[in-house]
Every structure is written in structure tokens, then in C-alpha cells.
């Protein structure tokens, strides 16, 4: 752990790791510039290895270079943000768009495009009765309907690229999987995206050939590595921060888990889980039902017995009147000091 990582600090860490474990056959990394810089620095010291660029980040970079300056893409992304603000904390909160990370939004842009396509299908042409759910939904859509012409080609490209990723992530990159991806890439409407995807995969296949993995399949996704650190963040949240869904899981994180309880969990079927949570209000459940069955849109306004809350983000924290002031002076208040010491002791060096 470190407060920040730069090329020099990552290179120093890699060099210490190599001294203990030996030089790796290859580096499997995401698209971060600090990692690229670190690998180059280590190579300059005579410890270079092959580099495998994660396919999810590679595809995201291709889409970003192609679409980030498109005027309608900027309109679409800003419209999604405004729609999100209008839907949160309302009876239509289950239709809030998925939240995308600021730095890697093009890695997950397919989720936003698919959401927009499904939400717009809830609003067919024709009038809407005053006060109906359809009228309320249309009032929140902002400029989203004007982006319909953008959605189709972007959705087609995203679908083909996702299918390619699924093949390569599960089977590795080889001559066989590359051939399967060629058929999918041919379906992408944009010639520029087709060329870049083809060039990326063939360049990575050269690395696979050099490593002797071009027939069995070279790992080309960092998902498994990242999941070791990131899976805990996703427990109980999903695409929307659903208060009811999270509250249902919180007890599992409390207290000491016994072996008997752990064994009991293994015997619970999916049907039993659904039976347990079926009667609980959930944004996730509403979202799934309404997007799959547009005719259920109006039913959102019929049942007010169970209020459903959408957890607000940290941007709203400053508006809360009762704010607890948490001191950051940990070093000054870390417990009683030994007699004769003015400052708490620190470990100067710890053994492994």
C-alpha cells in the first residue's frame, strides 16, 4: 500500500520482487501509464519481460479514441447524468442509469447504452395521460430521446466487442480464438474501430507466440487479479446502491462466523434465497421487472406501502445538517503514551 504510485516507485517495487521471485515471463497489466512507465524502467535495467495489455482496457481505449470527441457522445453522457439526478429519490428510482467510473467510463459504456435503449423503449410514441408514470418518466428524460441515432451503432460495436472479450477471457488468446473474434469484429459498423481491434489482437498474438502460448491460449485479462482486491466493494450493491438490498446482507458481515453457519449456507438453494427476499421491496427487483416488461411501468405508482430508498452519494453529504466531526489527528490520539514518551512509538522496520 502507498499514498500514490508513480512509474519510479512501481519500478522499484518490481525490482525488489524480481530479486526474490525471479523475472516474470510477462507482465499482465491494465492501461495505466504508471505501469507502462515502470515496465520500461525495469527493462532499461536489463530485467525486461513481455507485456500483455488487458483486453478490457484495450477495447475501452479504442472506443474512447473513436468516440470521445463525437459531439453527440458528450450530449449523451451529460444527458444520462441529468436523468440520473431527476430520477433519484423518486418513485422511478429503479430506472436510474448505471453509474460509470470517471476514468474508465468507456470500459463500461455498453451498460449505459443498453440502459438508455431499454428506458427509451418504455416511452413509445404517442401521448401520455397527465400524472401517469409515463408522463413522469418523459419529464425526466432530458435530451436522451435526441440521442437515439447514436445508440444503435454504439450498441452494435459494444455488443461485438463484449462477445470478443467473453471468448478471449475464458479461452485465452490463440489462433483459434482470434479467428472466432474476426467474425465478430466484421460486424462493427465503424471501420476505424474494426481496424484498431484487429491490430490490437494481432499484436498481442505476437506476444503469445513468443511465450509459446499461441496454440493453448494466452491469458489476456486482468479481471482475476483485480477481483482479489475489488470483489469486496461490490457485495450487496450491484449497479444501483439499493438500501434494501444492502440491508439484507449486512447481518452476514456482523459478528463471528462459525463453521456450523458456514456449512448451513452451503445447503441453501437459490429458490430459498428468492423466497426469503421475495416480499422485500427492492430497486433491483423493480428495475429488472420494469425494463423487461414495459407494461408494468404504471404499477410503480400503485403500491406505497413499502418505501424504497436510493442511497445518496457523497456529493450530498455537505447538505446534511448533523455532521459528525471525525478527527484526523490519529498520531496524537492513538492511545495512552508510555511514560517518558511525548510521541507514540512507530515501527521503524518490521520483519516479514
Q: How far apart are CA 180 and CA 175, in angstroms?
A: 9
Q: How far apart are CA 282 and CA 327, in angstroms?
A: 36
Residue 123 placed within a domain: yes
Full domain range(s) for residue 280: 234-301
CB within 8 A of 175, min separation 6: which ones?
205, 214, 215
Residue 291 placed within a domain: yes
Residue 161 placed within a domain: no
Residue 174 placed within a domain: no
Mean pLDDT across 163-183: 92
Question: What does the angle CA 295 – CA 300 – CA 304 come to, to the nearest 5 degrees?
Answer: 155
Beta-bridge partners for 52? 28
One domain, residues 140 and 90: yes
Residue 65 placed within a domain: no
Among 132, 150, 168, the domain-final residue is 150
For residue 30, which of 59, 6, 63 has the smallest C-alpha distance? 59
- Look over the chain and give the mean of its residue pLDDT values, rounded to a whole number: 77
One domain, residues 26 and 78: no
| Percent of all residues in the chain with a pLDDT value above 70, rounded to a whole number | 74
Give the global pTM. Answer: 0.59
pLDDT tens per residue across span 312-345 = 554 444 444 443 343 333 334 333 444 444 443 3
One domain, residues 239 and 292: yes
CA dihedral 125, 131, 137, 142 (to 10 degrees): 90
For residue 300, which of 104, 88, 136 has the smallest C-alpha distance? 136
Mean pLDDT across 49-65: 85
How many domains does the structure of the chain reveal? 3
One domain, residues 292 and 266: yes
Give yes or no for a contact between 49 and 23, defined as CB atoms under 8 angstroms apart.
yes
Give the residue, 240 or 18, on which the prediction is more confident. 18
One domain, residues 100 and 127: yes
Q: How far apart are CA 202 and CA 196, in angstroms?
A: 10
Residue 156 placed within a domain: no
Residue 317 placed within a domain: no
Residue 330 placed within a domain: no
Q: How far apart are CA 292 and CA 122, in angstroms?
A: 10
One domain, residues 44 and 77: no
Amino acid at each position: 500500500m502507498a499514498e500514490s504510485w508513480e512509474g519510479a516507485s512501481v519500478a522499484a517495487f518490481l525490482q525488489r520482487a524480481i530479486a526474490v521471485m525471479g523475472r516474470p515471463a510477462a507482465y499482465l497489466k491494465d492501461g495505466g501509464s504508471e505501469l507502462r512507465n515502470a515496465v520500461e524502467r525495469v527493462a532499461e535495467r536489463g530485467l525486461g519481460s513481455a507485456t500483455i495489455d488487458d483486453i478490457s482496457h484495450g477495447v475501452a481505449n479504442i472506443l474512447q479514441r473513436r468516440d470521445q470527441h463525437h459531439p453527440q457522445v458528450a450530449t449523451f453522457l451529460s444527458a444520462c447524468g441529468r436523468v440520473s439526478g431527476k430520477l433519484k429519490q423518486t418513485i422511478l428510482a429503479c430506472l436510474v442509469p448505471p453509474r460509470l467510473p470517471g476514468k474508465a467510463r468507456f470500459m463500461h459504456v455498453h451498460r449505459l447504452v443498453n440502459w438508455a435503449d431499454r428506458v427509451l423503449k418504455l416511452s413509445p410514441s404517442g401521448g401520455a395521460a397527465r400524472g401517469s408514470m409515463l408522463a413522469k418518466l418523459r419529464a425526466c428524460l432530458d435530451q436522451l430521446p435526441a440521442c437515439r441515432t447514436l445508440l444503435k451503432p454504439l450498441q452494435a460495436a459494444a455488443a461485438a466487442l463484449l462477445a470478443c472479450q467473453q471468448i478471449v477471457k475464458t479461452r485465452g488468446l490463440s489462433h483459434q480464438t482470434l479467428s472466432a473474434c474476426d467474425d465478430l469484429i466484421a460486424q462493427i459498423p465503424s471501420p476505424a474501430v474494426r481496424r484498431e481491434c484487429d491490430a490490437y489482437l494481432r499484436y498481442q498474438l505476437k506476444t503469445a507466440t513468443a511465450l509459446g502460448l499461441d496454440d493453448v491460449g494466452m491469458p489476456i485479462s486482468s479481471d482475476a487479479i483485480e477481483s482479489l482486491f475489488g470483489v469486496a466493494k461490490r457485495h450487496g450493491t450491484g449497479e444501483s446502491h439499493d438500501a434494501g438490498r444492502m440491508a439484507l446482507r449486512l447481518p452476514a458481515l456482523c459478528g463471528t462466523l462459525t463453521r456450523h453457519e458456514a456449512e448451513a449456507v452451503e445447503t441453501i438453494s437459490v429458490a430459498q434465497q428468492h423466497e426469503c427476499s421475495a416480499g422485500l421491496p427492492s430497486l433491483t427487483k423493480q428495475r429488472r421487472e420494469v425494463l423487461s416488461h414495459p407494461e408494468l411501468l404504471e404499477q410503480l405508482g400503485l403500491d406505497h406501502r413499502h418505501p424504497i430508498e436510493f442511497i445518496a452519494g457523497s456529493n450530498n453529504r455537505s447538505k446534511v445538517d448533523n455532521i459528525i466531526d471525525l478527527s484526523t489527528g490519529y498520531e496524537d490520539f492513538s492511545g495512552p503514551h508510555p511514560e517518558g514518551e511525548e510521541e507514540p512509538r512507530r515501527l521503524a522496520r518490521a520483519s516479514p
